[in-house]
Amino acid sequence: MGLTDIMPDRSTIFALSSGRPPAAIAVVRVSGPNGGIALAKLAGRVPEPRKATLMRLRDLAGEVIDEALVLWFPAPHSETGEDVVELQVHGGPAVVAGVLDALGRIEGCRPAEPGEFTRRAFENGRVDLTAVEGLADLIAAETPAQRRQAFRQLKGLIGDRAEAWRRRLIEALALVEARIDFSDEADMPEDLLGPALNAAQQLRDEIAAALADGRRGERLRDGLVVAIAGPPNAGKSTLFNRLARREAAIVSPYAGTTRDILEVHLDLDGYPVTLLDTAGIRDSVEPVEQEGVRRARERAATADLVLWLCDVSAAGRAFEEAPDSLTASEIWRVGNKSDLSAGNAQALSNEYGFKYWISAASGKGVDALVTALAGFAREYFSAGKAGESVIVTRARHRRALEDTVAALERALNEAVRGLEREELVAEELRVAATTLGRLTGRVDVEDILEVIFRDFCIGK
């Protein structure tokens, strides 16, 4: 039983699946029991399954709307598991409106809600929850690395792994339950608990190892956070705009210009980076600026990397200030306004410990900084064991796996406290299987248990 078998919605849904018209081509999809009827009404007949067929589409009054490439996927061999029609029409607004209008007039057909096609695919067991998320990530992917990760997830990298773990867990559970149920029988194998506990231990270790990934998968989805911070007027917003390649932030000669945190998404060598511009950090009595400084400190503290920017022409003042209060895992000191500095760049740079020496206004030295940022991102995302893909890409996955490990831990602890506690062991294994099932949306422990018990041979 799937999660949502309780009240299946039998209506036939349709939607424009491609982007906003006008476009060369628009794709309209229909899914549901009346898909064939709808197709017959619009195109006059239902073509051969899975074969692109050129057909005239007519409205209900018989007027031709367009000539379309039509695809017919009868259930269950379709994306949603239902009867599916795909109409590739010319992507003009009036064509699309005409097709949608004609479909809306057919009995049992209605416009789809957002995500409803995918929801039906899930309800009909065509995809699991992690694949649904992978699909959403693939559509949202902005960089090649994000795309690759999303595609792997769509194709079951975490879903298949979780399902295999869950099966093994339920097999272990079956052993424990068999011991409880058949403990009176003389010819019951002696040790059912031992193998069950071994399996539980192994699973706990494997899942814990998958969790120890430095959260790289989640970061790849959201982007590595790089915050530009530093004293007021250092040129933070100027650098931010240069990296963003647009005038996103207000730049002015007045210290204390930026108050809110600004954010842009960058693609650095295929890796996603979320770049933040923050308020210049200083003691201020002005309440709005104070709040800006508070936010700046907070976001910089949790960033993966802080670019601590200083105005090198303000010698002896601002750039002495060390970002002591910042607890970010990595901080690079960047000297800015090199064009205004008369002194020997290298000497100054060494003296004040600048890692980079740039002019945000002219762009000098910024390329080297960008290259270093890309290198930082690449290193961050490829820090794992060679050839091993991260499987956890969302907090939801992490929570489910952590809960599973905790339940396995409790099961193992119960077993240590005495073999007579097998009922409690079984209970915790059941909890572990259910939490793991939340990951993929499969929660049918009983079904699998039955299958296992059917070929369980306890002297019978």
Least distance CB 236 / ligand GTP (angstroms): 3
Residue 223: name its binding partner from Mg ion, ligand GTP, none (Cβ under 5 to 8 Å by kind): none
> Kindly report the CA angle at 431 between 197 and 4, in degrees rounded to 5?
135
Which is nearer to ligand GTP, 75 or 251 (by Cβ)?
251
- When asked if residue 238 is in the footprint of Mg ion (CB under 5 A), the reply is no
> Kindly report the CA angle at 400 between 439 and 272, in degrees rounded to 5?
80
- When asked if residue 233 is in the footprint of Mg ion (CB under 5 A), the reply is no
Which is nearer to ligand GTP, 336 or 404 (by Cβ)?
336
Question: Cα(144)–Cα(392) distance, rounded to whole angstroms?
Answer: 18
Which residue stretch of 45-53, 160-168, 230-238, 395-403 sits at the interface with Mg ion (rule: CB under 5 A)? Answer: 230-238
- When asked if residue 258 is in the footprint of Mg ion (CB under 5 A), the reply is yes
Least distance CB 340 / Mg ion (angstroms): 17
Question: Cα(353)–Cα(360) distance, rounded to whole angstroms?
Answer: 18
Residue 250, token pair as written in the block: 């207000």
Residue 291 DSSP symbol: H
- When asked if residue 278 is in the footprint of Mg ion (CB under 5 A), the reply is no
Q: Which of 34, 359, 393, 440 binds ligand GTP (CB under 6 A)?
A: 359
- When asked if residue 234 is in the footprint of ligand GTP (CB under 6 A), the reply is yes
> Kindly report the CA angle at 80 between 74 and 86, in degrees rounded to 5?
60
Q: Which residue has tokens 């963003």?
A: 244
Residue 291, token pair as written in the block: 């709040």
Question: Cα(223)–Cα(393) distance, rounded to whole angstroms?
Answer: 12
Residue 109 bridge partners (DSSP): 12
- When asked if residue 204 is in the footprint of ligand GTP (CB under 6 A), the reply is no
Q: Which of 12, 237, 341, 404 binds Mg ion (CB under 5 A)?
A: 237
Which residue stretch of 174-182, 196-204, 356-364, 430-438 sits at the interface with ligand GTP (rule: CB under 6 A)? Answer: 356-364
Number of helices followed by number of strands (H, E) in the chain:
15, 12
Q: Which residue has tokens 């499969």?
A: 442
Residue 255: name its binding partner from ligand GTP, Mg ion, none (Cβ under 5 to 8 Å by kind): ligand GTP
Chain centre to alpha carbon of residue 66: 39
Cis peptide before 22 (omega within 30 of 0): yes
Least distance CB 391 / Mg ion (angstroms): 39
Q: Tell me how crowded residue 331 is: count the other CB atoms within 10 A of its CB.
A: 19
Which residue stretch of 87-95, 154-162, 353-361, 444-452 sits at the interface with ligand GTP (rule: CB under 6 A)? Answer: 353-361
Which residue stretch of 253-261, 388-396, 407-415, 437-445 sits at the interface with ligand GTP (rule: CB under 6 A)? Answer: 253-261
- When asked if residue 341 is in the footprint of ligand GTP (CB under 6 A), the reply is no
- When asked if residue 437 is in the footprint of ligand GTP (CB under 6 A), the reply is no
Residues 405-434 that bind Mg ion (CB under 5 A): none
Burial 444-460 (b: 16+ CB within 10 A, else e): ebeebbeebeeeeeeee
Least distance CB 231 / ligand GTP (angstroms): 7
> Kindly report the CA angle at 176 between 171 and 179, in degrees rounded to 5?
125
Q: Which of 124, 336, 341, 440 binds ligand GTP (CB under 6 A)?
A: 336
Phi/psi-derived region of residue 342, left when phi > 0, alpha when psi is between -120 and 50, beta in every other case = alpha
Residue nearest to ligand GTP (CB): 280
Residue 1: name its binding partner from ligand GTP, Mg ion, none (Cβ under 5 to 8 Å by kind): none
Residues engaged in binding ligand GTP (CB under 6 A)? 232-238, 251-253, 255-258, 279-280, 336-337, 339-340, 359-361
Residues engaged in binding Mg ion (CB under 5 A)? 236-237, 257-258
